[in-house]
Amino acid sequence: MATYQRIVEAALEVLATRGWRHASVAEVAARAGVTRGAVQHHFKDRDGLFTASVQHIMDTRIHEIEALQHADYPDGERTRTIVHTIIELHQGTSFTAALQLCVAASDDPTLRSRVAAMELEVGARGFWALIELLRLDGNDPTVRTTVQAFLDSARGLGLAGMLNDDSRRRRLVADRWAAMLDELHTTNPDTRLRPNP
């Protein structure tokens, strides 16, 4: 794995487990198996290391969502597969690391403006990628608010999965979301039979 990638993954692990205040460059370097100098070569300073690592994983997640566009799905399983994938992307270390950053930013004016802007930008990109992926009409207010409710739900499932094994319930909620999102096609005949682009 490239050094940059190794450092980012180590930074997310350290941020997720230690929290913003206790996450150190030294621990990231040790965990990535590189020198502190190597970390400094790639990242301006400590805060830059952790914010850029969260930004990097967010970008990666958006690309993963966009890449689903070209995946093959079994008949009738397209929405369900996409919904399950997006919900699972909101679980685990990268979710916890992003959450640690948000919680820290909520009480730190400098960090807050940076992280708030990142959240808005990533949120908008994820939203439009999903609209595209589900072949929905992003100009339809009902479509927009339903997709937003789904993305909020995915975040809420991320929280619920942090403390308890919530995987069974999560699958049931995901199946229900697939049905609710598919209903948007049924009520909107224009998009119902839109061919695979």
Interface segment toward its own copies; rule CB under 8 A; list 12-20, 23-31, 50-58, 74-82: 12-20
The DSSP element (H or E) to which 74 belongs, if any, is none
DSSP state of 195: P
Per CB under 8 A, 193 contacts its own copies: no
Determine the straight-line distance between the first and last CA of the chain, rounded to whole angstroms: 34
Q: Is 28 exposed, middle or buried (0-12, 13-18, 19+ CB in 10 A)?
A: buried
Tokens standing for residue 106: 């909520």
Q: Which is nearer to its own copies, 23 or 39 (CB)?
A: 23
Closest to its own copies by CB, 42 vs 119, is: 119
**Candidate segments 35-43, 46-54, 73-81, 116-124, binder of its own copies by CB under 8 A:** 116-124
Q: Which residue of 7, 11, 14, 16 would you call a contact of its own copies, by CB under 8 A?
A: 16
Q: Is 176 in the site for its own copies (CB under 8 A)?
A: yes
Which of 22, 41, 63, 194 contacts its own copies by CB under 8 A? 22
Amino acid, res. 154: A
Give the residue with the Cβ less far from its own copies, 76 or 141: 141
Rounded CA gap, 55 and 77, in Å?
Answer: 31
